[in-house]
Amino acid sequence: MLVHVLLYDAGKDSEGIHSLELNGGTSVLMFENIDDAQRYCDLLEAQDFPKPNVEALEKAEVEQFCNESGYEAKFVESGFIPKTEEELMFLAPPVNNRDVTNWNEANDSGREISTNSANNESDQLDEIRKRLEGLL
């Protein structure tokens, strides 16, 4: 099964995958629907975050990468409806982003990462709710 992930510098040596910091772990979103993935990219760009490319990859390949890297793969199915505050981040990125000026440099564990950091979850969730309400 193909899923859609968000990649930076796809196909280059500096390639990185978009990820989120959730509950002390790093999660990679795998979108079933390409339109959902593209919408997420557009929201990132609207927040002055570097805009990733949407790439279709085999779900098993992404899950294997995540397992080997210590990440958690999060599948976002078509028509996804969040049930928890954490799951709201699957529809819209957090307001506060980690500094990514050197996103393609290896972190202290030697892995290349690009992540968002949720510092003040309550404020971020309020902001996400406002943006989602504005879309309706």
CB 112 within 8 A of CB 9: no
For the entire predicted model, the pTM comes to: 0.68
Higher-confidence residue of 109 and 95: namely: 95
Joined together, the tokens standing for residue 20 give 């989120």
Among 95-99, 117-121, 126-130, name the one with the lowest average pLDDT: 117-121
Average pLDDT of the chain is: 79
How much is the average pLDDT of 125-129?
Answer: 68
Residue 125 — very low, low, confident or very high, per pLDDT cuts 50/70/90? low
pLDDT tens figures, 53-97: 999 999 999 999 999 999 999 999 998 988 888 888 888 887 655
Q: Kindly indicate the confidence band of residue 107, based on its pLDDT and cuts at 50, 70 and 90.
A: very low
> pLDDT higher for 106 or 2?
2
Q: What is the pLDDT of residue 49?
A: 84
Strands 2-8, 72-76: pairing is unpaired
Rg, Å, the chain Cα set: 14
Q: Which two tokens stand for residue 74?
A: 């999060």
